Structure formats: structure tokens, C-alpha cells
């Protein structure tokens, strides 16, 4: 099967596009990457997403407009994916843009992703799998993270505990170990607060290459205040996003601190916050290796801090060494989830999400006969039988 996978994360800067060919070989699934691309959101769309995200108030009209605007971008991305697949794909996995993750008292009550899957199906003419998180939420899970299903199949735990790390807007960790259930959860902010600080202090979308953070100095009191966040001490399963770690969150902490902090020092401190929270979890699980992916691996300052805090206890490398481009790993993971759902297999891992049962993920938007079936003759009339 040729599957197009799409992904837009908590950084909401654009859509990652991949195409992959999957072949089942007994209990081994072989994935052949066919290429990856990125399609950026324009400034107006990024502003519209940011204006709708918590803690901002919004209207149902704004949600409807954004749903269709994001759907048009996902549709264009899907068309690129079909090209990468050689002009033909069997399905597209279009998870949409998460705009709200409703967590109350440690329990996920709902989740909302925008992206008008009907627009995607209309553009490419193949079935589209969307709304991948809701089935797990309905089964009592967090609906996130979902990528551990990919990590658990990719990583070999025989050599000792290993971890897969994704450094997107949020840092996600998957831990595999011999004879133990797979663990996976959101550790805390990766780029979410860094990007918020860059927009606030530099008027830029990000601190490119972590250059300003490298020029700054860690502010001990600010770091201590940030590390006091209760989320870090909460046990998994747990998930988070920009409903917690947003620009207002950073503003509140700086206000509590009550003293000015130079922009470069804020960025340096936030970089160490991400590295420290990740390193603490890796140490807790005793991992021997961390395989990283996501936009954060392009930040040499963040990667340096991770190596520094590892203190030689674990080795850090990227998924590129395993044949999976680090910038596109999550999109490939969603392509895999599409393969699983197409075959009626669960994609969420209960030991990760906390669900009562393993759920088959997603809702299908058809674009013709399902699963390649031949359609019946179109009916011309309806007869009601007694």
C-alpha cells in the first residue's frame, strides 16, 4: 500500500508531507519512504490559528472558517504527497491541526482538530483518515501521544531500555524496555515556550539555531520557578500542549519573578528547561540511548544542552540514522497509523494513553468505494417492504 501521511504539530507552522509504501511480511511490516516535503502556513493563517488557541476566546464562525482554511492547506499537502507516491496513493492520513485538548482533573474529556477532511478527499480522490485521537479519548485515554505505536515497532528494546524523543512544540518521550509495557507521554514544552519568547522579545517566529539562547545565560531563579510547574511531577499517562504552555504562561512566570530578564537569558533558561525535564525522565527510566526527531533537533544549542545533561548515561542520536528523516518522523508515524486502521488494527497503546482498551483510530472520509470494492448499480427508486 502507498500511504500519504500529513502532520501539523503544536508549533502550527505548516504541514509535513510524506509518502511511504508499506508491505506486510509475516509479523514484520516493511516501510519504504518515498519522500517528504513541507508546506508552510502563510502568516495570515498562522495568525488565525494563534488567535483561536487557548486562552483566547473565539466564535463558532471563526472555528468554521479556520477549519476550511486549514483543510485547503492539508488538501494541497495531500496532492504533494500523491506526487511523492508516484501519482497514486491508496489513502491519505490527515490528522488536522489540534486547536484544543480538553483535560480536566487529569482526565481527557475531548479533543478538537481542524482540517476539513472532505476537502482533502475531494482534492486527491482517495479515502482520507482523520480525527485520529477521538476513539482513544472515548475509550478513556488521553488521545495522545499516538506516535509511540511507530516508536515501539521501530526501536529494538533487546539491548536495554531505549527512548524515542520528539522535540516539537511539546517534547514527547516513548520508552521501550525488555519485558515491560511501552511507555509514552508528553514531557513538557520543547519549542512551545521558546517560540513564544522569540515572538515576544525578538519579533521572530523562532530563535534560529538557538543562536540567541547560546548568547544568553541561564537565570537560576526563573529556571527554578519554571521547574515548579505541577505538570512535571504528574505521573503518566499524561498529555499537554499550548492550552498550558503558551505565551501568557511565560508572561505570568516572568511577572511572578518580579525582575527584568534579558531576552537572551530568557531563551537560554527555556532551552535548559526543556533539556532538564527531558534528561530527568530519561534518567528515571534508565535509558541507554535516546533517538530524537522533530524540529528541535535543528537547534544545536538545545541538542548541546541535552548531551551535557545526559552526563554520559545515554547516547543521543537522530532517527535519520535509522532511515527516518528527523523532520518528517511524525508524518511517517501517522502514515503507519493509517495502515493499521485500514486493516482494522488498533493504533493507540493503552499503556501509553491510559485507555481501557486499544482503539482502532480515526474516522474515514470516503472518496469512492471503500477498500477498492466494486460499487453496486446506482438505485433508481426505493420500495418500502411491509
DSSP string, 213-230: HHHS---HHHHHHHHT-H
Q: Where are the domains of the chain?
A: 2-144+329-372, 148-325
- pLDDT at residue number 56: 87
Secondary structure (3-state) at 29:
strand
Region 98-106: mean pLDDT is 86
Q: Kindly report, residue by residue over 258-313, the tens digit of the pLDDT.
A: 999 999 999 999 999 999 999 999 999 999 999 999 999 999 999 999 999 999 99
- Residue 162 grid cell: 531505549
Q: Is the pLDDT of residue 351 over 70?
A: yes
Region 348-373: mean pLDDT is 87
Region 105-118: mean pLDDT is 92
Q: Is the pLDDT of residue 253 over 90?
A: yes
Is there a shared CATH topology between the 2-144+329-372 domain and the 148-325 domain? yes
Residue with the three cell numbers 554520559:
312
Q: Comparing 104-118, 177-191, 215-229, 361-375, which segment has the lowest mean pLDDT?
A: 361-375
Please give the Cα distance from 326 to 105 (Å, whole number).
34
pLDDT band at 52 (very low <50, low <70, confident <90, very high): very high
- pLDDT at residue number 352: 95
- pLDDT at residue number 378: 85
Domain 2-144+329-372 has CATH 3.30.420.40: yes
Domain 148-325 has CATH 3.30.420.40: yes
- pLDDT at residue number 156: 82
Read off the DSSP letter of residue 201. Answer: I
| pTM (global) more than 0.85 | yes
pLDDT band at 368 (very low <50, low <70, confident <90, very high): low
Please provide the DSSP assignment of 327-353 as one string: GGHHHHHHHHHHHHHHTT---S-HHHH
pLDDT band at 125 (very low <50, low <70, confident <90, very high): very high
- pLDDT at residue number 369: 61
Secondary structure (3-state) at 133:
coil
Q: Kindly report, residue by residue over 196-227, the tens digit of the pLDDT.
A: 999 999 999 899 999 999 999 999 999 999 99
- pLDDT at residue number 367: 84
Secondary structure (3-state) at 160:
coil
Q: Is the pLDDT of residue 373 over 80?
A: no
Q: Comparing 53-57, 85-89, 229-233, 251-255, which segment has the lowest mean pLDDT?
A: 53-57
Cα 107-111-116 angle, rounded to 5 deg: 170
What percent of the chain has a predicted confidence (pLDDT) above 70?
A: 98
Q: Kindly report, residue by residue over 22-49, the tens digit of the pLDDT.
A: 999 999 999 999 999 999 999 999 999 9
- pLDDT at residue number 370: 59
Q: Comparing 51-55, 66-70, 219-223, which segment has the lowest mean pLDDT?
A: 51-55
Q: Is the pLDDT of residue 371 over 60?
A: no
Element (H, E) at 317: strand 315-318
CB 34 within 8 A of CB 90: no
Amino acid at each position: 500500500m502507498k500511504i500519504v501521511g500529513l502532520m501539523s504539530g503544536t508549533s502550527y507552522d505548516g504541514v509535513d508531507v510524506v509518502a511511504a509504501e508499506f508491505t506486510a511480511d509475516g509479523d514484520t511490516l516493511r516501510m519504504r519512504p518515498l519522500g517528504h516535503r513541507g508546506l508552510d502556513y502563510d502568516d495570515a493563517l498562522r495568525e488565525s490559528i494563534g488567535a483561536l488557541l487557548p486562552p483566547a476566546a473565539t466564535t463558532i464562525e471563526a472555528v468554521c472558517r479556520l477549519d476550511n482554511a486549514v483543510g485547503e492547506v492539508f488538501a494541497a499537502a495531500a496532492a504533494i504527497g500523491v506526487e511523492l507516491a508516484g501519482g497514486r496513493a491508496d489513502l491519505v492520513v490527515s490528522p488536522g491541526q489540534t486547536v484544543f485538548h480538553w483535560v480536566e482533573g487529569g482526565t481527557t474529556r475531548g479533543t478538537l482538530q481542524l482540517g476539513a477532511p472532505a476537502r482533502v478527499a475531494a482534492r486527491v480522490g482517495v479515502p482520507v483518515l482523520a480525527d485520529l485521537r477521538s476513539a482513544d479519548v472515548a475509550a478513556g485515554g488521553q488521545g495522545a501521544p499516538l506516535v509511540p505505536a511507530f516508536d515501539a515497532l521501530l526501536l529494538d528494546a533487546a539491548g536495554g531500555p531505549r527512548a524515542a524523543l520528539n522535540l516539537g512544540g511539546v517534547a514527547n518521550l516513548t520508552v521501550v524496555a525488555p519485558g515491560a509495557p511501552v511507555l509514552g507521554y508528553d514531557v513538557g514544552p520543547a519549542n512551545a515556550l521558546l517560540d513564544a519568547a522569540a515572538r515576544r522579545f525578538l519579533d521572530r517566529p523562532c530563535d534560529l539555531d538557538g543562536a540567541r539562547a547560546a548568547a544568553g545565560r541561564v537565570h537560576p531563579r526563573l529556571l527554578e520557578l519554571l521547574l515548579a510547574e505541577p505538570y512535571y511531577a504528574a505521573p503518566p499517562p499524561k498529555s499537554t500542549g499550548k492550552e498550558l504552555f503558551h505565551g501568557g504562561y511565560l508572561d505570568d512566570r516572568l511577572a511572578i519573578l518580579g525582575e527584568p530578564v534579558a531576552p537572551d537569558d530568557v531563551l537560554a533558561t527555556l532551552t535548559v528547561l526543556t533539556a532538564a525535564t527531558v534528561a530527568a525522565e530519561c534518567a528515571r527510566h534508565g535509558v541507554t540511548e535516546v533517538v530524537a526527531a522533530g524540529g528541535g533537533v535543528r537547534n544545536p544549542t538545545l541538542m548541546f544542552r541535552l548531551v551535557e545533561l545526559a552526563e554520559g548515561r545515554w547516547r543521543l542520536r537522530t532517527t535519520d540514522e535509522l532511515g527516518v528523516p528527523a523532520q518528517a518522523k511524525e508524518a511517517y508515524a501517522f502514515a503507519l497509523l493509517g495502515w493499521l486502521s485500514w486493516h482494522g488494527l488498533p493504533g493507540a497503546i493503552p499503556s501509553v494513553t491510559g485507555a481501557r482498551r486499544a482503539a482502532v483510530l480515526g474516522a474515514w472520509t470516503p472518496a469512492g468505494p471503500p477498500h477498492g470494492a466494486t460499487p453496486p448499480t446506482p438505485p433508481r427508486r426505493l420500495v418500502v417492504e411491509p
